[in-house]
Copies of this chain bind each other. A is one copy, B any other.
Amino acid sequence: MPDRPTSRDVARLAGVSRTTVSLVLNNVPDVHISPETRQRVLEAARQLNYYPDASARRLVSGKTRTIALVWHRGPDQTYRDAFLPGLLQGVSRAAHHYGYYVLFRPIEPDEPDDAWVELARGRHTDGLILSGPRSDDIALLDLHREGFPLVLHGQFPGADIPSVDVDNERGAMTALRHLLALGHRRIGMITNAPLAYTASHQRLTGYRRALEEAGIAFEEALVRYGNFDEESGRRAMESLLALEERPTAVFVASDMVAVGALRALREHGLRVPEDMALVGFDDIAVSRYLTPALTTVHVPAFGLGWSAAELLIRIVEGDIPNETQVRLETELVVRESCGARITDADQRG
């Protein structure tokens, strides 16, 4: 590999100083360079195929123009993987739009929870997006207190750290309203995860509020707790089917869990939606290919990624918005598992 050209080489070739080269190539405003000189510099840079060295630039500017997406893997691995392409795409596109690069850093369960801290402390990046379950990390709070730019994907009760999430409660209410509108009165629920997870809790709250709104009493007996995976859904549905007075519809707060629920129903010879209607949550890629295709609450993965990156970059650049808690709306995607009339527009959803 021949030595890369530096700005010094460009300066020499153009017959100017290194400073002038920098001024020209960075288009520094309010500084006068004669058109001929400017042209000579640009030509020299082109001829030498000059690209400024990123490391040197970072060092002197103190900015890396890089943000990192920290992807904590936990018990919900496969579940969250379903969102990775969309989320990452959103983060990357927003980053690129604002002139930033994206570092992707998954943290495996066997790594210390705060393995990502060196990214911040070593100034590998200007800011971080943290996604996935975390213990109430002291390192996180420290960094936030020191003013290091952070955005969470998902919520962190307690501290007021900027975050991006979906409006889980309203999403659940949409699902419920759909079932209620179809005439269901006895509606069960299977949560996506244990209630310790904020999202889980919020979706349950949405379920309760929607019932309340419709004047239906909440029954503890109709609620089961899923745990991210298919198998937990199967078991939960089994348990609901064992009830003396079965529900006619079930809101499953996670598509992955709904897949298991669907299997349990099939194993019992029950038809969906005729014998039991089902609404999921998340709208993962699989849902539209199930038989019957699953009606579900769409989570805008791309939008979450974009919003997180955009918010983070604004913070990095000191343009701090007055509202740092972003909540995106969900959207109900009507397919076949509820028996609602499918319009042409929905067909492709």
Please tell me which stretch of A25-33, A78-86, A185-193, A194-202 contacts chain B, meaning at least 4 of its Cβ atoms lie within 8 angstroms of it.
A78-86
Q: How many copies does the complex hold?
A: 2
Q: Residue A10 at the B interface, CB < 8 A?
A: no
- Cα–Cα distance between A286 and B259 once the two chains are bound (Å): 11
Indicate if the CB atoms of A103 and B106 lie closer than 8 Å: no
Indicate if the CB atoms of B85 and A84 lie closer than 8 Å: yes
Q: Residue A158 at the B interface, CB < 8 A?
A: no
Indicate if the CB atoms of A124 and B54 lie closer than 8 Å: yes
Listed in ascending order, the chain A residues whose CB lies under 8 Å from chain B are: 1-2, 4, 49, 51-56, 58-59, 64, 66, 69, 81-82, 84-85, 88-89, 92-93, 96, 101-106, 108, 118, 121-124, 146-148, 259, 285-286, 289-291
What are the 10 closest A-B residue pairs judged by CB atoms, nearest first?
Answer: A55-B58, A51-B121, A291-B291, A81-B85, A55-B59, A1-B147, A51-B122, A54-B124, A84-B85, A104-B104
What is the minimal beta-carbon distance from A129 to any residue of chain B, in angstroms? 12
- Cα–Cα distance between A259 and B290 once the two chains are bound (Å): 11
Contacts of A4 in B (CB 8 A): 121, 123
- Cα–Cα distance between A122 and B6 once the two chains are bound (Å): 11
Indicate if the CB atoms of A82 and B285 lie closer than 8 Å: yes
Contacts of A108 in B (CB 8 A): 93
Q: A1-B147, A289-B286 are in contact. Are A123 and B84 (CB under 8 A)?
A: no
What is the minimal beta-carbon distance from A304 to any residue of chain B, in angstroms? 16
Indicate if the CB atoms of B103 and A1 lie closer than 8 Å: no
Indicate if the CB atoms of A49 and B105 lie closer than 8 Å: no
